[in-house]
Amino acid sequence: MLIHKMKRVNGVITVPGDKSISHRAVMLGALADGTTSIRGFLRGADCLSTIDCFRKMGIRIDEDGNGSVTVHGRGLNGLSAPQDTLYTGNSGTTTRLLCGILAGQPFDSSVTGDASICKRPMGRVTRPLSLMGARIENEYCPLLIHGTKLHGIDYSMEVASAQVKTALILAALYADGETVIRETEKSRDHTELMLKAMGADIETCGLTVRVRRTNALRPQDITVPGDISSAAFFMVLGSIMPESEITIKNVGINPTRTGIIDVMRQMGADIRISGERTEGGEPVADIRAASSRLRGVEIGGEIIPRLIDELPVIAAAAVFAEGRTVIRDARELKVKETNRIRAVAEEFTKAGADITETEDGMIINGGKPIHGADFAVYGDHRMAMSLAILSQLAEGASSIDDASCVDVSYPGFFEDFYGLEN
């Protein structure tokens, strides 16, 4: 697809619902006793994979096609054995969180996904689950899960990963005794918040989460806020484009997710937050980003899990920022939908950007002119959207080899994007 270049962008948009919260709402709704109503559900391919998997386990899920979803939960012990392999598509969250739920079921199951999922490490979930007694074959998909009795453990996490943490929390709902999970850095805590609201026996203290076996989860009405990881593309777009201003309404600003705001402000971006409120236990606000002169920054340490998915678009911002940006401690980028360190470095280099791949991140010397190119997106939704933004300020024409992959997290991205031109 040829990327159209806009001169200026202005306007107000609403981004689709948060991907992490949408997955959890369906999963926990399925395990609750009764009906969970979800509003603002992300109808992206990843979250639809989650719905599909739970339907295969006998859960009735009604969808109106507009983000209203009703999950007819059957309780923690109400899932039925799936007749087929559970197919998770491109979704790491579905795959890893399912492992936690399936490990303690009284039936066997198998899980697999697309070519990208089959290359992503699942040992980070299956190994700690096996310490709880789980019997899971393979460290890559397809995974064969022999449901069994589980027991609590005290586990110090090896990577800062909300997917691993959540898989263990979900398994702990079925395990005898107490499970203690110790994080190295604080990762997104949507599972903990939602489970507390549903009455689970879960406590968080700093980097430690304690969970005890739970007999019943209360169904909820869940309003999913806009996804800050999707809003990030517009925060960067509004900041780099001349004479521009974009307001993104109704965005989730859970502090475990707001690293993008901190970093953009540090880069000198004019980002304003207004109308802060709490909806369904999650903080929400409107975010306004306006044209700014950006400067390079150093990004590393505890902030990384708070902006891990936003690093490709932050790298695009860094290309237009004066001076050097160094991203470190971001090894996790190598095991996302694609190796995002390599993909960003290779594609941005095609545009003439001064970017060097490092062992755990990248170094970008920004503020130099770039030119258009024919970009590869590696089937990765966030690469496609980041390259569409990079192309805006490149001299000459650019294209991306796959625009449809944005459907994974942001169906309608290009309509919203071009709708801002003026």
The end-to-end CA distance of the chain, in Å, is 21
Told to check if 93 binds ligand S3P by CB under 6 A, we report yes
For tokens 């031109």, the residue is: 421
Kindly tell me the number of DSSP H helices and DSSP E strands found in the chain. Answer: 12, 23
Shorter beta-carbon distance to ligand S3P: residue 227 or 245? 227
Rounded to an integer, what distance in angstroms lies between the CA atom of residue 17 and that of residue 233? 15
Shorter beta-carbon distance to ligand S3P: residue 166 or 386? 166
3-class DSSP assignment, residue 120: coil
Near ligand S3P by CB under 6 A, which window of 59-67, 159-167, 340-348, 355-363?
A: 159-167
3-class DSSP assignment, residue 357: strand
Contacts with ligand S3P, 200-239, as mask; x by CB under 6 A: ----------------------------------------
Near ligand S3P by CB under 6 A, which window of 27-35, 67-75, 148-156, 161-169?
A: 161-169
Shorter beta-carbon distance to ligand S3P: residue 166 or 254? 166
- Which residue is catalytic, options 18, 189, 309, 407? 309
The nearest distance, CB 371 to ligand S3P, in angstroms, is 31
Please list, in sequence order, all residues whose beta carbon lies within 8 angstroms of the beta carbon of residue 66, skipping any fewer than 6 positions away. Answer: none
The nearest distance, CB 308 to ligand S3P, in angstroms, is 5
Phi, psi (degrees; rounded to nearest 5) at 369: -65, 145
Told to check if 162 binds ligand S3P by CB under 6 A, we report yes
Rounded to an integer, what distance in angstroms lies between the CA atom of residue 251 and that of residue 215? 33
Told to check if 386 binds ligand S3P by CB under 6 A, we report no
Phi, psi (degrees; rounded to nearest 5) at 259: -55, -35
Shorter beta-carbon distance to ligand S3P: residue 240 or 383? 383
Told to check if 389 binds ligand S3P by CB under 6 A, we report no
Query: How many of the other CB atoms lie within 10 Å of CB of 414?
Result: 17
Residue pair 362/345 in contact by the 8 Å Cβ criterion: yes
Q: What is the CA radius of gyration of the chain?
A: 21
Told to check if 360 binds ligand S3P by CB under 6 A, we report no
Rounded to an integer, what distance in angstroms lies between the CA atom of residue 402 and that of residue 379? 7
Rounded to an integer, what distance in angstroms lies between the CA atom of residue 187 and that of residue 179? 18
Strand order in the sheet with 10-14: 10-14, 245-252, 282-290, 270-279
Contacts with ligand S3P, 50-89, as mask; x by CB under 6 A: ----------------------------------------
Which residues ranging from 331 to 350 are in contact with ligand S3P (CB under 6 A)? 332
3-class DSSP assignment, residue 5: coil
The residue type at 261: I
Q: Which two tokens stand for residue 178?
A: 């107490």
Q: Which two tokens stand for residue 135?
A: 């019997």
Phi, psi (degrees; rounded to nearest 5) at 284: -135, 150
Told to check if 45 binds ligand S3P by CB under 6 A, we report no
Told to check if 188 binds ligand S3P by CB under 6 A, we report yes
The nearest distance, CB 126 to ligand S3P, in angstroms, is 14
The nearest distance, CB 92 to ligand S3P, in angstroms, is 6
Shorter beta-carbon distance to ligand S3P: residue 168 or 198? 168
Which residues ranging from 5 to 34 are in contact with ligand S3P (CB under 6 A)? 20
Q: Which two tokens stand for residue 78?
A: 């109400």
Told to check if 161 binds ligand S3P by CB under 6 A, we report yes
Torsional class of 285: left (φ above 0), alpha (ψ -120 to 50), beta (otherwise): beta
Told to check if 116 binds ligand S3P by CB under 6 A, we report no
Q: Of 90, 95, 109, 163, which one interacts with ligand S3P (CB under 6 A)?
A: 163
Shorter beta-carbon distance to ligand S3P: residue 183 or 286? 183
Is 309 a catalytic site residue?
A: yes
Residue pair 390/344 in contact by the 8 Å Cβ criterion: no
User: What number of chain residues touch ligand S3P (CB under 6 A)?
Assistant: 10
The nearest distance, CB 189 to ligand S3P, in angstroms, is 10
Q: Of 287, 308, 351, 376, which one interacts with ligand S3P (CB under 6 A)?
A: 308
> Can you give the binding site for ligand S3P, defined by CB under 6 A?
20, 93, 161-163, 166, 188, 308-309, 332
| Residues belonging to the active site | 309
